Structure 1
Amino acid sequence: MRLLCILYFTGVSLGIEVHQTPSELIRKPGDRAELVCRHGETNYRVMLWYQQSAGQRNLSLIGHLNYQTINIESAFQQDFSISGDLSGETTKNGSLLVHLKDPESSGVYYCAARLARQHTPTATHNKNPK
């Protein structure tokens, strides 16, 4: 029986403390693993999830949660899901659910938080006013 290991670290993101649990998991292929990220900065309403595959140095963006909107990169859509709600003025919580299909799922997973940029419509200018 092969076991898959997921390591998950608590860290600092853009100067804020981000709490991530659990710190490590060992599962077998076919299992699911849920990773939770939490921080107390009410104006940091974007949560990003990254994977560092075993033996690799680079990070791959799995997806992000922006307020209540979820975006998962196409390469991860089949085996990963993101949930949470970053609206409101309370502690921000989000989770990543990983379906562990094979050893490639092993690795280190990171959560990061950033300020949400507010969208402001750009004014359109008529170059030939009448």
Structure 2
Amino acid sequence: MITRILLAVDDSPAAMAAARHAIELAACLGARLHVVTVLSDHPLSDLVTRAASHPGVHERRDQAAGALLDHVVRLARVSEVDADARLLEGDVAHRILAEARAMHVDLIVVGTSEGLDRSTSAHILEFSGQPVLIVPPEVH
């Protein structure tokens, strides 16, 4: 039985499609939704920070990620789904898998796109200890 779902999101269209599917599934099953986004520092982020003439690039990035999480949690609550959110840092696939283990979730839901690339979703699928639902971007 699925009672806890981990939804990993970024700011991609596929992640929002995954959010809609996860919320609908959680509503149907009466499951709790645990929403995460992972901030990954890499050389490009450091270059942008150094090149920016304005301080606080990382703070704005964190605020944007927090706003994304708040938005998804609000969508869940509109559908009467019990949801919480957490901002993580590090390697995306590893952090999602570690969070899924720590939260003892029954299902992981991710979108696949350029934001959460195919190698990340493939890693999650290969090393997950629970079922994984990979949602493609919606075609309009």
Same fold (TM over 0.5): no
- TM-score w.r.t. the length of structure 1 is 0.25
**Greater fraction strand:** 1
Q: Which has the higher contact order (CA 8 A, sep 6+)?
A: 2
TM-score normalised by L of structure 2: 0.24
Larger Rg: 1
